[in-house]
Chain A
């Protein structure tokens, strides 16, 4: 993996979260041959799945003209930029430039990539390099849905940890568990930006229909956006790994 230089510490320092593994998407939300853009600590990332089924998390920026790679097309195990069709292999190395088809592309034309894994039904990215520790445990889970909240990540984490939005067990400052009508739910928080948070939800036990969990999730989102933040505990540190 190419070590991105200065981006992780910027976000983690600002938002009070530490190095760790963060969920970016539900695994079943990304079909082979597709890409999606997301953000972590305001840093734009592309999450894409190649034709063989492997997922990748990269900086969402073509080294050529800066176009978002999430707007591009997956071709086999390469992703091609929408703008001029530059193609990158699974390691982020540029392999083909359509305007110069015979050119041996230099190794310096490469997209910064991040370590990522799939666990607990989610795609996780390692943030802050080696300081992030071990990847999350791959517990059996059925992905349900992702919520996007207009609320600061620290506030959302504090509201969940304090039980303001229901009864949640804090597995780590970035992951939570709860029970709903006999089902066990696992929630992973994604610090999307300074004032925006994603919550990825998976069912880890029971057989409550996913539709019912999705309805509950919508209510949870409304609560987390509306609840007052007064009197909450200090910021969480260290997101840690999944349960």
Chain B
């Protein structure tokens, strides 16, 4: 289950985003948590390491798009090279 902090938005299927690049894992994870909270998205972190971060998010489609855009920049000590996203299997 995703940790839910939804605020009345229409729920869409969870989306898993896979960020690849060069990460300080704890820094990127905190960045992702903050952006998800700001956008009222439910989220769950999966694999988090120096080169790959997986995160499942759930919420309004527009907000999920905003989340991807926000995370594409990342914190100053991380470099996002690529993002893949897929609807999560139910």
Residues of A with Cβ closer than 8 Å to B?
Answer: 63, 100, 103-104, 106-109
Contacts across chains A and B counted by CB atoms under 8 Å = 25
Q: Which of B40, B60, B62 contacts A108 (CB 8 A)?
A: B40
Q: Which of A63, A106, A107 contacts B63 (CB 8 A)?
A: A106
Given that A100-B62, A103-B63 are contacting pairs, would A108 and B9 also be in contact in the complex, using a CB cutoff of 8 Å? no
Tell me, yes or no, whether B38 is within 8 Å of chain A by CB: yes
Chain A residues contacting B60 (CB-CB under 8 Å) are 103-104
Known: A63-B38, A109-B38. 9 other contacts (CB 8 A): A100-B62, A100-B66, A103-B60, A104-B9, A106-B39, A106-B63, A107-B7, A108-B5, A108-B7
Q: Give B41-78 as 1s and 0s: 1 = Cβ < 8 Å from A's Cβ atoms.
A: 00000000000000000001011001000000000000
Nearest neighbor of B7 in chain A, beta-carbon distance: A106
Chain B residues contacting A109 (CB-CB under 8 Å) are 38-40
Contact B62 A106 (CB under 8 A): no
Chain B residues contacting A103 (CB-CB under 8 Å) are 60, 62-63
Tell me, yes or no, whether B87 is within 8 Å of chain A by CB: no
Chain B residues contacting A106 (CB-CB under 8 Å) are 7, 9, 39-40, 63
Nearest neighbor of B6 in chain A, beta-carbon distance: A106
Contact count band on B: 10 to 19
Chain A residues contacting B63 (CB-CB under 8 Å) are 103, 106
A–B Cβ pairs within 8 angstroms, 8 of them: A100-B66, A103-B63, A104-B9, A106-B7, A106-B40, A108-B7, A108-B37, A108-B39
Chain B residues contacting A108 (CB-CB under 8 Å) are 5, 7, 37-40
Instruction: Give CA–CA (A106, B8) in the complex, Å.
Output: 8
Q: Is the interface of A mostly helix, strand, loop or mixed?
A: loop
Nearest neighbor of B73 in chain A, beta-carbon distance: A65
Q: Give B13-40 as 1s and 0s: 1 = Cβ < 8 Å from A's Cβ atoms.
A: 0000000000000000000000001111
Instruction: Give CA–CA (A106, B41) in the complex, Å.
Output: 9
8 nearest CB pairs, A to B: A106-B40, A100-B62, A108-B40, A103-B62, A106-B7, A108-B38, A107-B7, A104-B9
Nearest CB of chain B from residue A3's CB, rounded to whole Å: 17
Instruction: Give CA–CA (A104, B9) in the complex, Å.
Output: 7
Instruction: Give CA–CA (A104, B63) in the complex, Å.
Output: 10
Nearest CB of chain A from residue B48's CB, rounded to whole Å: 23
Nearest CB of chain A from residue B75's CB, rounded to whole Å: 13
Nearest neighbor of B38 in chain A, beta-carbon distance: A108
Chain A residues contacting B7 (CB-CB under 8 Å) are 106-108
Nearest neighbor of B37 in chain A, beta-carbon distance: A108
Nearest neighbor of B59 in chain A, beta-carbon distance: A106
Instruction: Give CA–CA (A103, B37) in the complex, Å.
Output: 17
Contact B40 A107 (CB under 8 A): yes
Instruction: Give CA–CA (A103, B62) in the complex, Å.
Output: 7
Instruction: Give CA–CA (A103, B8) in the complex, Å.
Output: 11
